[in-house]
Chains A and B, each alone.
Chain A
Amino acid sequence: MSRRANEGRVDLSTLSRLARLLIYAVLFAFLILFYFYPLTSILSLSFTPEGNVSLEPFTELFGRPRYLRVLWFTIWQAALSTLLTVALALPGSYIFARYDFPGKSLIRALTTVPFVLPTMVVSLAFTAVLGPRGLVNMALMRVLGFQEPPLNLQHTVAIILLAHVFYNYTLVLRIVGSYWSNLNPRLEEAARMLGASRWEAFRQVTLPLLVPSIAAASILVFIFDFTSFGVILVLGGPRFATLEVAIYRQTVHYLNLPLAASLSVIQILFTFALMTVYTRLQATMTLPVELRSRRATQRRPRGWREWIWVGGNLALMVVLLIAPLVALVQRSLTLGGGLSFTFYRELFRNPRGSVFYVPPAAAVRNSVTFALATVGLAVVLGLMAASMLDGRSTRVDVQESGDGSLLKTLWRGLRQLLDPVLMLPLGTSAVTLGLGYIVALDEPPLNLRTSPVLVILAHTLVALPFVVRSVLPALRSIQPQLREAASVLGASPWRVWREVDLPIVARAVVVGAVFAFTVSMGEFGATSLIARPERPTMPVAIFRFLGRPGTINYGQALAMSTLLMLVCTAGFLVIERFRVGGLREF
């Protein structure tokens, strides 16, 4: 009797070890084939101009004060942008976590729209609002009687910071907001009852519990700002350069691959170091917490104070994030001073019989197809990665099996490496990786240089960190007792996962999916480097229109941008409605 039971257990644990092995294999194969292999190919080509390795570019680099200035600027503007974004978005996260009010999902969807807009379009929108003849300046001139536009933000650090907040606000709002909404408000209420002031209760009770999600969001925002490209070039103007901008210039304009590669290496090493520190800290700061269904944590604002608090934050979002979007839409509908749908009609015409004409429906279809494929792939790989990184169950396994310490160390080493490694694609210059694909993936069976599959793979590489960062805090917050209790009560492992883990991480998976969708919809760099012209996405179409003179082209770019915003908003709303297996969601 006991033998049979034992056999059964052995089988199961072998099976689960095999399964784990397979997860490792799939994840690492993906990263090696589509990240490390292309990257090392282009880097080794760059560092061996005459056949032997030369590290001269590094010495050259540090001999030029220009590049030290670039490095310093890259770091401080990213740090400042991140601080500002978190400071502005934290109150917003609070009201989204704790209150329920009309139009909430729509507002949340709209705050994410900036994330998908190409910088050139955002620049148009910012000029329309903040430019010398923009809404704000015109209003100030009219109301206060200035002769000249009083506000001049063009090509300043201020507009870089504003644009970074515009783009990344949603990261904090969604990641922190979704985590916060499942925190049990009782803890804070208890502190209040024990005599803590509102601020004390927040600082001593809620904030420490929120730290993992704030850190996760901040690290994403920081890396995004650290590798900022379009915002710096277009809005910052010619006086500012980040490492990413310098890499692009050295590669594209001078084909100085050794110098570009050294800059790329510095950027990647910095990201890696940052992520390693973060990973260490994160492991110590995550606590299992008691979570509550959001239905129990959210309510209508009560009394005028709460309404003002909610209203004030919403007003900030409207001014900061939504007003530029409205300006774009308004321009796409204006021709000769009046309301007109001309630009939208023109989207459906191909008067010159161009071979590259993209019917709007086709552009939407291409974008959405790429985006959905990216969501599928990124969520699957992201769940695998997150469950590996969570690691608690693995530790138990290793202790149980008690085999060689070498293997144990190897496993642990791999797992600790995985977290920072997963983030590296975000810290890698798109132009470096793009050229890496051209150099590396040029022969069967991996002749993907001109394949649309490469677009999906590149998008997934960038989307993956978002899924991991969204899911991991939720996964780590699960109290082990919950799973044990379920097991003791006789639930099968499948049921434990379905009834305990899934409902808790479901919300976070949806957040990750929204970001994966967003990353893919808005991505332009990789798409333009590898997309074949017969599958142009919406951003590609926008760039085509913006590349030539003429009111109609300009208008069509705006109309297509409006379409992009609509499709994305619809996409967000649909994904958010998505219920994993019809479960009661938290």
Chain B
Amino acid sequence: MKRIMFLLIVSLLLLTACGPAGTPTEEPTATPPPEPTPTESADGQTVRIMTHDSFDISEEVITAFESEQNATVEILKAGDAGVVLNQAILSKDNPLADVLYGVDNTLLGRALEEDIFQVYESPLLDEIPDRFELDEQHRVSPVDYGDVCLNYHKAWFESEGLEPPSNLEDLTEPNYAGLTVVENPATSSPGLAFMLATIGNFGEDGDYTWLDYWNELSDNDVLITQGWSEAYYEQFTYGSGGSGDRPIVVSYASSPPVEVHFSEEPFEEAPTGVVVGDGSCFRQIEFVGVLKNAQNPELAKAWIDFMLGEQFQEDIPLHMFVFPTNENADLPQVFVEFAVTPENPILIDYGRIQENREAWVDDWADQVLQ
């Protein structure tokens, strides 16, 4: 009977011993744990940016903004782009941040429908080609873009004496049976982009639709993985260092220069190639916007100008492996040398994507997974 009491005493001792971690549970309402306060600058201004896990940039770029504005930048990463957008939607009355960066054209429809952004027309938009500006009301601004394309392992095709593919149709040829790995559009962003490329390329109506294409692709033993990492690092012959057996993978047009950049040995040419034929890639454009009910909208707008400015834009390629939208931004040498860009990638209206997304993915699953 008294045992409990002693358990409790020991427990409380342990509780105090484990310090601040233990305190909040003891009396949660009375003593909330201290909010981690960022080191505030002279005039105490902080801009909070909410973004996805892939966001990255140089420390000196952030510092430049902080000293220019005499402010502090706080970055909140919370999962992949879809998760982050959901969090922004669910917290729109009391937002987690002032700025949301990382909504792409496959998610833009949902973001605008949920009305989470406020209008801001940055003067820097003059330096950005109109084709990237999808929202006429300027609730979001385009920051960067990238193309999802087929990549292939050059050495593999050389040693097999086979021509690398040059368009989507090639993948259904008997020569290419069992060579391709793609990501599941239901769970992966490049997977969804590639499915959209086939929809844009083959269309929904007519004798031969995108579903017919997938049917043939299935018959030709295409492998579907959950995400990009499994496709690229486990199944792709190059990325897996030989343990995978698929020399064609859905990845990005920027993957070859990134391969060169992150390799120990110097390369004459990139070890992987990209299929950039007309209609074989899907273009993703990423946007930034000021959230409604932002605590610090003025600083948020300054941040957006900064993101669209040259210093930030030039830092994008080697940190996020996508291309800057600002025309005046210079590309790093490795991108100039090794990157190829499709001239006519597939673009699908974001409203149409939002409307059909679930149905398309379900149709795809019915066709490919049965």
Asked if B336 is an interface residue, CB under 8 A from chain A, the answer is: no
Contact B18 A532 (CB under 8 A): no
Give chain B residues whose Cβ lies under 8 Å from the Cβ of A131: 234, 243-244
Give chain B residues whose Cβ lies under 8 Å from the Cβ of A498: 6
Asked if B89 is an interface residue, CB under 8 A from chain A, the answer is: yes
CA distance in complex: A272, B345 (Å): 51
Interface residues of B in 84-112 (CB under 8 A from A): 85-87, 89-91, 94, 96, 110
Residue interface bits A4-45, CB-to-B below 8 A is 1, else 0: 000000001101100110110010011001100000001001
Residue interface bits B74-85, CB-to-A below 8 A is 1, else 0: 011111101101
Contact A442 B21 (CB under 8 A): no
CA distance in complex: A546, B258 (Å): 13
Which single member of A356, A439, A452 contacts B90 (CB below 8 Å)?
Answer: A439
Interface residues of B in 221-258 (CB under 8 A from A): 223-230, 232-235, 239-245, 251-252, 255, 258
Contact B358 A254 (CB under 8 A): yes
Give chain B residues whose Cβ lies under 8 Å from the Cβ of A544: 53
Residue interface bits B103-136, CB-to-A below 8 A is 1, else 0: 0000000100000000000000000000000000
Asked if B159 is an interface residue, CB under 8 A from chain A, the answer is: no
Contact B11 A493 (CB under 8 A): no
Asked if B62 is an interface residue, CB under 8 A from chain A, the answer is: yes
For the residues of A in contact with B, the DSSP-based class is helix
Q: Which among B28, B57, B91, B369 has the highest number of chain A CB atoms within 10 Å? A: B28
Given contacts A238-B226, A377-B18, A493-B2, contact A550 B262 (CB under 8 A): yes
Asked if A72 is an interface residue, CB under 8 A from chain B, the answer is: no
Asked if B268 is an interface residue, CB under 8 A from chain A, the answer is: no
Contact B262 A383 (CB under 8 A): no
Give chain A residues whose Cβ lies under 8 Å from the Cβ of B187: 233, 238, 249, 253
Give chain B residues whose Cβ lies under 8 Å from the Cβ of A547: 53-54, 228-229
CA distance in complex: A389, B32 (Å): 29
CA distance in complex: A352, B332 (Å): 12
Asked if B35 is an interface residue, CB under 8 A from chain A, the answer is: yes
Name B2's closest neighbour in chain A (CB-CB): A493
Asked if B263 is an interface residue, CB under 8 A from chain A, the answer is: yes
| Residue tally, chain B, CB below 8 Å to A | 97
Name A132's closest neighbour in chain B (CB-CB): B245
Contact B87 A435 (CB under 8 A): yes
CA distance in complex: A45, B86 (Å): 13
Asked if A264 is an interface residue, CB under 8 A from chain B, the answer is: no
Contact A19 B5 (CB under 8 A): yes
Q: Which among A251, A376, A388 has the highest number of chain B CB atoms within 10 Å? A: A376
Determine how close the nearest CB of chain B comes to the CB of A361; give it in whole angstroms: 18
Name B81's closest neighbour in chain A (CB-CB): A252
Given contacts A238-B186, A438-B96, A554-B239, contact A533 B76 (CB under 8 A): yes
Contact A127 B59 (CB under 8 A): no
Asked if B163 is an interface residue, CB under 8 A from chain A, the answer is: no
Contact A532 B36 (CB under 8 A): yes
What size tier do the contact residues of chain A reach?
35 or more
Contact B262 A549 (CB under 8 A): yes
Given contacts A234-B230, A355-B56, contact A380 B15 (CB under 8 A): yes
Give chain A residues whose Cβ lies under 8 Å from the Cβ of B319: 352, 354
Interface residues of A in 351-383 (CB under 8 A from B): 352-357, 372-374, 376-377, 379-381, 383
Give chain A residues whose Cβ lies under 8 Å from the Cβ of B2: 12, 16, 493-494, 496-497
Give chain A residues whose Cβ lies under 8 Å from the Cβ of B15: 376-377, 380
Which single member of B8, B32, B58, B261 contacts A550 (CB below 8 Å)?
Answer: B261
CA distance in complex: A494, B3 (Å): 7
Report how many A-B pairs have Cβ atoms within 8 Å.
274
Interface residues of A in 378-414 (CB under 8 A from B): 379-381, 383-384, 387-388, 393-394, 396-397
Name A525's closest neighbour in chain B (CB-CB): B79
CA distance in complex: A254, B349 (Å): 18
Contact A354 B56 (CB under 8 A): yes
CA distance in complex: A249, B252 (Å): 23
Contact A22 B8 (CB under 8 A): yes
CA distance in complex: A544, B229 (Å): 11
Which single member of A133, A356, A543, A553 contacts B262 (CB below 8 Å)?
Answer: A553
Give chain A residues whose Cβ lies under 8 Å from the Cβ of B77: 531-533
Asked if B155 is an interface residue, CB under 8 A from chain A, the answer is: no
- Stretch in A52-60, A88-96, A443-451 with 4+ CB within 8 Å of B: A443-451
Contact A16 B5 (CB under 8 A): yes
Which single member of B75, B244, B365 contacts A238 (CB below 8 Å)?
Answer: B365
Give chain B residues whose Cβ lies under 8 Å from the Cβ of A376: 14-15, 17-18, 21-22
Contact A127 B4 (CB under 8 A): no
Asked if A205 is an interface residue, CB under 8 A from chain B, the answer is: no
Name A353's closest neighbour in chain B (CB-CB): B58
Name 29 A/B residue pairs within 8 A (Cβ), A-sorted.
A23-B8, A45-B90, A123-B234, A124-B234, A127-B234, A127-B235, A155-B224, A234-B226, A238-B224, A238-B368, A251-B86, A253-B82, A336-B264, A352-B318, A355-B56, A372-B18, A374-B21, A377-B21, A380-B15, A435-B90, A448-B32, A453-B24, A493-B5, A497-B7, A530-B78, A549-B232, A551-B241, A552-B264, A554-B241
A-B pairs with the 3 shortest C-beta distances?
A550-B262, A376-B18, A493-B2
* A interface residues with partner B (beta carbon < 8 Å): 12-13, 15-16, 19-20, 22-23, 26, 29-30, 33-34, 42, 45, 120, 123-124, 127-128, 131-134, 154-155, 233-234, 237-239, 249, 251-256, 331, 334-336, 342, 352-357, 372-374, 376-377, 379-381, 383-384, 387-388, 393-394, 396-397, 431, 435, 438-439, 442-453, 456-457, 460, 483, 493-494, 496-498, 501, 528-533, 543-544, 546-554
Given A238-B368, A393-B1, A397-B1; 11 other pairs, CB 8 A cutoff: A29-B29, A124-B234, A133-B245, A234-B226, A237-B224, A238-B187, A373-B19, A377-B21, A446-B28, A497-B6, A551-B241
